[in-house]
Amino acid sequence: MSRQSNRTTDSKKMNSELFTLTYGALVTQLCKDYENDEEVNKQLDKMGYNIGVRLIEDFLARSSIGRCQDFRETADVIAKVAFKMYLGVTPSVTNWSPAGDEFSLILENNPLVDFVELPDNHSTLVYSNLLCGVLRGALEMVQMAVDVKFSQDTLRGDNVTEIRMKFIKRIEENLPAGDE
C-alpha cells in the first residue's frame, strides 16, 4: 500500500505531535476549570513537578549519567541530554551569573507550542509552565533545590523562549533521628 511508504520517516515527529496535542488539550481543560491564568500556571507547575520526580528515575536509568560535580555540568546535562532525549531539542545554555548559580536555557523552538496561539484574554498564562515544574521536580530528586521560571516566551511576542534557572541550595540527606 502506497500510504505506508513514508510512515517510518515521520513517526518520530508524529509522536511529538501526540504529546503536543495532548498537552494542548490539558491546558484547554485547565483554562475551562479555573477562573484565572495564575491558577492555571500554578496547576501546570504542580503537574510538571509530579512528572519530574518520576521522570528523573527514567532519565538516570537510561542515560547512565552519574552525580554532577557542579551546576555548570548540571546545566549541560539538562540541555544536551535530557531535553534532547525527551523533547528532541537542544536548548543553548547562556547568561551565567558571575557566581555561577544562575543560567538561562534558550529554546529556539519549543515543541510544546507547535500549534498554539494565545488568545488576548490569556495574557498572563505561561503556556509551557509544565516544563518549570518538571525541571524543579527532577532536580529536587537529585538533591538540588532550584528556582525555575520563564523569563521570555515566543507565545507572548518575545524573540526566543528563555527558561531562567537559579540554584538555591543543596538538599541535605535527612538522616533519621538518632542515626549516625
**37, 40, 55, 132: which one contacts other proteins (CB under 8 A)?**
55
**35, 69, 99, 115: which one contacts other proteins (CB under 8 A)?**
115
| Pick from 131, 16, 136, 138: nearest CA to 65 | 138
**38, 54, 168, 171: which one contacts other proteins (CB under 8 A)?**
54
Site membership for other proteins, residue 116 (CB under 8 A) = no
Identify residues 19-38 at the interface with other proteins (CB under 8 A): 19, 21-26, 28-30, 33
Alpha carbon distance 161, 157 (integer Å): 10
With CB under 8 A, what is the number of residues at the site for other proteins? 36
Query: In the chain, where do the E strands start and end?
Result: 92-94, 102-107, 144-152, 161-170
Alpha carbon distance 86, 97 (integer Å): 27
| Pick from 173, 170, 169, 152: nearest CA to 161 | 152
Identify residues 66-85 at the interface with other proteins (CB under 8 A): 85
Summarize as ranges the residues that interact with other proteins (CB under 8 A): 2-4, 6-7, 11-12, 14-19, 21-26, 28-30, 33, 43, 47, 50-51, 54-55, 58, 85-88, 111, 115
